[in-house]
Structure 1
Amino acid sequence: MEDGRVRLLARHIVDFALELQRGDRLLVELHGEGLPLALAVVEESFDRGARPFVHRHDYRLERALLRGADASLLEEIAAFEVARMEKMDAYVDIRGTENLYAWSDVPQEKLDLYRSRYFGPLHLQRRCGHTRWSVMRYPNDAMAQQAKMSTKAFEDFYFGACLVDYGRMERAMRPLVDLMEGTDRVRVVGPGVDLAFSIKGIGAVALAGRRNLPDGEVYSAPVRGSVEGRVRFNVPFPYEGFVLSDVELVFREGRVVACSCNDGPRLEAILDTDEGARFPGEFALGVNPEILHPMADVLFDEKIAGSFHLTPGNAYANADNGNRSSVHLDFTCIQRPEYGGGEIYFDDRLIRKDGLFVVEALGDLNPDRLS
């Protein structure tokens, strides 16, 4: 019997996130588990007169492919999939990995090729800027283990976080968007954090259920070359079969000039993917009131209430600082008191302290009002 929440989520995806119209071509990709949601999305898209295309991936097959592929093969595969993506009006990706470390024995040089020859050209350069898209996880035993919950408790948490009142959230975000669009200098301070940069002229975007799920962030991007200082992130970051933790970055003239974490050589290799990988392409504030603690899953962790993320790598077209890269690393720091606290200033005005907005116009974004 279908969980009714799966159907609600599928309807949210096709109607709100993708705004599917009759005749739209929709590519539905399924990575690992998540068949109930994929089925519901396909059925709901047919009900709206859309034309779904389906592609099912398997992490074990992808591992075998990556271990054997050379640059030219990955370029051919990317060209094939880019050509398909160009024909699509919308895209949804449902991911339910059974093993966070499924690619942990793929050699680093192969991961570098995957990032630069396949993922970057297909997803960062083509899909993100030209296609209506939505990406989400699907709850399973592996994710419940990451979150240190029973599977039943995690399912309840998952649907609660994915199906918040996005209309209410979007209205509450408008004053923050207006404030960020009028801001020049940003300063972020806290334990291990002392950053300064400009977001002047970049713009700001509210994400309230129209892209990846769960949602709940407002983002801009630092002016390229403006970031100065250092930051220590207190949220683990899963990436290509590994989990990077205790990430610290030092910036000079906008560029990462020093870094450390639990696997420093791996992080250095990722930041050396291309020239843009060492420059941030995004700065965002997380506000989802149902997500309070990290679980080593970036789609959840970057939305944590009272957090910010600063992202080395590619900038989004709708808040573009001109930085281009085949990576996009959403390193996250929680600033609520139990995680050490911290402050964020816009043009020397305190706007958030210890994870709570202190400007009255932004108060509706605090968890006690938004939940």
Structure 2
Amino acid sequence: MRDPRFDRLAETLTGYSTELKRNEKVLIEAFDAPDEITIALIRAARKRGAIPFVQLQRAPVSRELALHATESQLRLLARHELARMKQIDAYIAVRGSHNITEQADVPTNQMKLIAKKMRPVQDQRVQKTKWVVLRWPTPAMAQLASMSTEAFEDFFFEVCTLDYRKLQPGMNALKKLMERTDRVEIAGPGTDLRFSIKKIPAVICGGDRNIPDGEVFTAPVRDSVNGFVTFNAPTIYQGTSFDHIRLEFENGKIVKATSNQTKKLNDVLDADVGARYIGEFSLGFNPHILHPMRDILFDEKIAGSFHFTPGQAYETADNGNRSQVHWDMVNIQRREYGGGEIYFDGKLIRKNGEFVIPLLQSLNRARLLKRK
């Protein structure tokens, strides 16, 4: 029996997120996701007159290829994938995971090589197509969230079918405020950050890029970041789990980085010059996502959070930083996580995860949930 939630989600992804139109070509990539959601996406795309293409990926196969991929092999693969991506109008990725650390034993240098060679494909997809990426609920994800598989699936579909139009007024106001702001100060346990976002565009993420969604991001002026930050949400990068990451900055550069995996952390940050500079600053406010799940597509949207991103800047909020790395690191500022404050040009904007100025209070969790 078909789950009607699959069809509703497929309609959201093809109708709202990518706004597929007649004769547009859409690439659907399914990573360890059930055939049923892929089929639902194919049907939803056809219903809108679009032309679907499909690629199925399996994590153990990807790991085996990654372990021994040569530079010449990756160069050929990237050329082939880039040529295909240039023919595509829209991209939908559904990413499941039966083992989130499947690639943990792929050597760091090998992961760096793969990231470097495949970067042009990612840039083409991010900058030149209409795209949306979402996770698929699996028992592994439910375990990370300390939930039963059934309860996690129910949570997933509630989060992913949120009516993002309800967030638009508050997101528009936050975007305008960020684009008028010069100085940002962030304070909290283990955190004292200062930087500028002057003349950097702000971008609304309201269900048209990631599902789940709920953030507005910009980027710091590249050499303006000073101070230190401690991230209280765990993170997984290139198959390795990191906890208690702490970064220290001088004139934009990460000059000291520690965590429970300090060596691996610094290996990533030494991938290239840009990896030690910040490419993104964002505020998250999805009312359904409250606690970290070690999955960045969820964690970066946590209500009352911000994230700071070593590495590549997005073209839409470009501070000029270039890197093969783009690593979102999350700090939750709600009271139960220790609290914290964010100031724009000396004015308190958010305290303990709650927006305090009237213009932005519609993004607070209590207000958003009241609208249901």
Determine the structure 1 residue equivalent to 2:268: 270
Determine the structure 1 residue equivalent to 2:311: 313
Gap runs ≥5 in structure 1: none
Determine the structure 2 residue equivalent to 1:107: 107
Q: Separation in 1 of the partners of 2:39 and 2:263?
A: 41
Determine the structure 2 residue equivalent to 1:129: 127
Determine the structure 1 residue equivalent to 2:175: 177
Q: Separation in 2 of the partners of 1:300 and 1:370?
A: 18
Give the conservation status (yes or no) of the 8 Å contact 1:25–1:51. Answer: yes
Give the conservation status (yes or no) of the 8 Å contact 1:33–1:98. Answer: no
Give a deviation string over 1:51-88, Cα, whole Å, max 9, x none: 11111111111111111112221121111101100000
Q: Shift in Å at residue 91 of structure 1?
A: 0.3
Give the conservation status (yes or no) of the 8 Å contact 1:121–1:326. Answer: no
Determine the structure 2 residue equivalent to 1:147: 145
Which range is displaced more, 108-117 or 77-86? 108-117
Give the conservation status (yes or no) of the 8 Å contact 1:116–1:273. Answer: no
Give a deviation string over 1:261-307, Cα, whole Å, max 9, x none: 11111111111111111111100000000000001000000000000
Determine the structure 1 residue equivalent to 2:93: 93
Q: Separation in 1 of the partners of 2:277 and 2:143?
A: 33
Mapping of 1:7-156 within 5 angstroms?
7-118=7-118, 120-123=119-122, 125-156=123-154
Mapping of 1:231-246 within 5 angstroms?
231-246=229-244
Q: Shift in Å at residue 36 of structure 1?
A: 1.9
Give a deviation string over 1:26-52, Cα, whole Å, max 9, x none: 000011123222111111101111111
Q: Separation in 1 of the partners of 2:18 and 2:239?
A: 29
Q: Separation in 1 of the partners of 2:120 and 2:3?
A: 36
Q: Shift in Å at residue 121 of structure 1?
A: 2.2
Runs of 4+ in 1 over 3 A off after TM superposition: none
Q: TM-score, normalised by structure 1?
A: 0.98
Letter aligned with residue 326 of structure 2: H
% same residue = 49
Determine the structure 2 residue equivalent to 1:327: 325
Q: 1:213 aligns with which of 193, 211, 214?
A: 211
Q: TM-score, normalised by structure 2?
A: 0.98
Q: Separation in 1 of the partners of 2:32 and 2:316?
A: 31
Letter aligned with residue 89 of structure 1: D
Give the conservation status (yes or no) of the 8 Å contact 1:170–1:207. Answer: no
Give a deviation string over 1:175-225, Cα, whole Å, max 9, x none: 111110100000000000000000000011111100011000000000111
Letter aligned with residue 45 of structure 1: A
Gap runs ≥5 in structure 2: none
Task: Confirm or deny that 1:188 pairs with 2:186.
Answer: yes
Give the conservation status (yes or no) of the 8 Å contact 1:146–1:295. Answer: yes
Q: 1:291 aligns with which of 289, 292, 295?
A: 289
Q: Separation in 2 of the partners of 1:73 and 1:194?
A: 45
Q: Separation in 2 of the partners of 1:154 and 1:167?
A: 24
Q: For 2:210, what is the secondary structure of its paired residue?
A: coil
Q: Shift in Å at residue 171 of structure 1?
A: 2.1
Which range is displaced more, 309-318 or 33-42? 33-42
Q: For 1:79, what is the secondary structure of its paired residue?
A: helix
Q: Separation in 2 of the partners of 1:75 and 1:236?
A: 33
Number of residue-to-residue matches in the alignment:
369
CA-based RMSD of the aligned residues comes to 0.9
